[in-house]
A = this chain, B = another copy of it.
Amino acid sequence: MALMKTYKHLLISTRSHLRIITLNRPKSKNAINREMYDEIVCALNEAANDDNIVITAITGAGDYYCSGNDLRNFNDAGGDLGETIKKASSNLQKFVQTFFEFPKILAALVNGPAIGIAVTTLGLFDVVYASDRATFSTPFSSLGLTVEGCASYTFPRIMGPGKASEILYFNKKFTAQEAKECRLVTEVIPHDKLDRVLPELEKLSNLPANSLLYSKALVRNQEKENLQKAVEAECKRLEERWQSEDCLNAVIAFMSRKNKL
């Protein structure tokens, strides 16, 4: 195996045929800044291309699983706005594609609150284990934004239209139990037993690799075209939204609340 890349915002480890990617910006509630977006794509590609890896798990360091897109990303833009928007959209599209094209079994271990893109991408995982302390929210509407992460395609199919509307349109926050009832979460685990999940996944990673990966390919290949269409439509819409008054006002309000704390 080639030496693994080192990461600034991720911890990477391997047990048997299980790769574990830990989001590691706990002081920022594991919010994803630009650098971290790139690192996650890179770490997933590394696992995808490593013949030793059968299952990949993503979890978070500290209390949060991941608080989603770091809204400071909106601040950092220098230079031409139109160009920045195009680049952000294309990066987001690449990020989401990396999830739905990921060829290994993909497991989430949601150790705490999950927000925004950290929730929507769960619809692209194979299994989602959640601590009973986890919560799930996608406050797109309150930020003047629109649905992303292929959730416009996956969430109504996973949850049914009603629950998908509540979380995607109405900013409803789901508990772990509610997320299980609507099938976004596969199993809810008492928080103090979370550490039993990774050994279990490690054991499963010893099953015949080709059986697991070919079965996943049979399932996923039927969706890829639809997922590709969904991510393209979502990103195109976000290019407009990011430049909208709705979004500008919401981000300014958010930042001024942040700065007062």
Q: A229 to B187, alpha carbons, bound, how many Å?
A: 31
When distances are taken between beta carbons in the complex, the residues of chain B under 8 Å from A229 are 222
B215 & A186 in contact (Cβ 8 Å cutoff): no
Q: How many copies does the complex hold?
A: 3
Q: A246 to B210, alpha carbons, bound, how many Å?
A: 8
When distances are taken between beta carbons in the complex, the residues of chain B under 8 Å from A169 are 105, 126, 204, 207, 212, 215-216
When distances are taken between beta carbons in the complex, the residues of chain B under 8 Å from A211 are 140-141, 143-146, 241, 246
Measured CB to CB, the closest approach of chain B to A225, in angstroms, equals 11
Measured CB to CB, the closest approach of chain B to A98, in angstroms, equals 17
**A251 CB–B CB distance under 8 Å:** no
**A160 CB–B CB distance under 8 Å:** yes
Given contact pairs A105-B169, A208-B141, A230-B222, A215 touches B162 in the complex (Cβ within 8 A)? no
Given contact pairs A215-B152, A218-B152, A221-B233, A186 touches B165 in the complex (Cβ within 8 A)? yes
When distances are taken between beta carbons in the complex, the residues of chain B under 8 Å from A143 are 211
When distances are taken between beta carbons in the complex, the residues of chain B under 8 Å from A127 are 161-162, 165-166, 170
Given contact pairs A127-B165, A152-B222, A160 touches B141 in the complex (Cβ within 8 A)? no
Q: A152 to B218, alpha carbons, bound, how many Å?
A: 6
For window 154-191 of A, CB contacts with B under 8 Å fall at 156-166, 168-171, 183-187
- Of B162, B183, B208, B212, which one neighbours A186 at CB under 8 angstroms? B162
**A219 CB–B CB distance under 8 Å:** yes
When distances are taken between beta carbons in the complex, the residues of chain B under 8 Å from A163 are 183, 186
Q: CB-nearest residue of chain B relative to A160?
A: B183
The 5 closest A-B pairs by CB, nearest first: A162-B186, A160-B183, A152-B218, A208-B246, A126-B165
CB-defined A-B contacts under 8 Å, sample of 25: A105-B165, A105-B169, A125-B162, A126-B162, A126-B169, A127-B161, A127-B166, A128-B162, A140-B211, A141-B208, A141-B212, A142-B208, A144-B210, A146-B211, A146-B218, A152-B219, A162-B183, A162-B187, A165-B186, A166-B186, A169-B204, A169-B215, A169-B216, A214-B240, A222-B230
New A-B pairs, 11, CB < 8 Å, besides A158-B160, A168-B215, A222-B226: A140-B211, A140-B215, A141-B207, A144-B210, A160-B184, A168-B219, A169-B215, A214-B240, A214-B241, A218-B234, A218-B237
